[in-house]
């Protein structure tokens, strides 16, 4: 899912970015606890950006983290994507 999202960002924004690191965990011990995801991305120049996402759904938290990291590498007029 994240690799597909990176591919879409590459195609839509001509963005050369890779996911370098990814971690997730829950913010509690109950079954209804929220998830937090952390993503580190690198662009073609070797610049790093971190993104964090928090949601009840780990998939949404992961996508939020990816989009937050990607914002740093987007041109200013494109950075309102999320």
Burial 37-62 (b: 16+ CB within 10 A, else e): bbbbbbeeeeeebebebebeebeebb
Q: Is residue 62 part of a domain?
A: yes
Q: Is residue 82 part of a domain?
A: no
What does pTM read for this prediction?
A: 0.86
Q: Is residue 61 part of a domain?
A: yes
Q: Is residue 80 part of a domain?
A: no
CATH number of the domain encompassing residue 29: 3.30.160.270
> Could you list the residue range(s) of the whole structural domain that residue 45 is in?
2-75
Domain count, the chain: 1
pLDDT of amino acid 75: 75
Q: Is residue 27 part of a domain?
A: yes
pLDDT of amino acid 30: 82
pLDDT in tens, 39-81: 999 999 999 999 999 999 999 999 999 999 999 998 765 555 5
């Amino acid at each position: 899912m994240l690799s597909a999202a990176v591919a879409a960002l590459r195609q839509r924004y001509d963005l050369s970015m890779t996911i370098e690191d990814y971690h997730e965990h829950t913010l509690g011990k109950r079954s209804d606890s929220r998830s937090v995801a952390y993503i580190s991305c690198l662009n073609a120049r070797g610049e790093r950006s971190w993104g964090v996402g928090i949601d009840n759904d780990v998939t949404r938290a992961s996508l939020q983290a990816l989009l937050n990291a990607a914002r740093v590498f987007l041109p200013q007029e494109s950075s309102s994507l999320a």
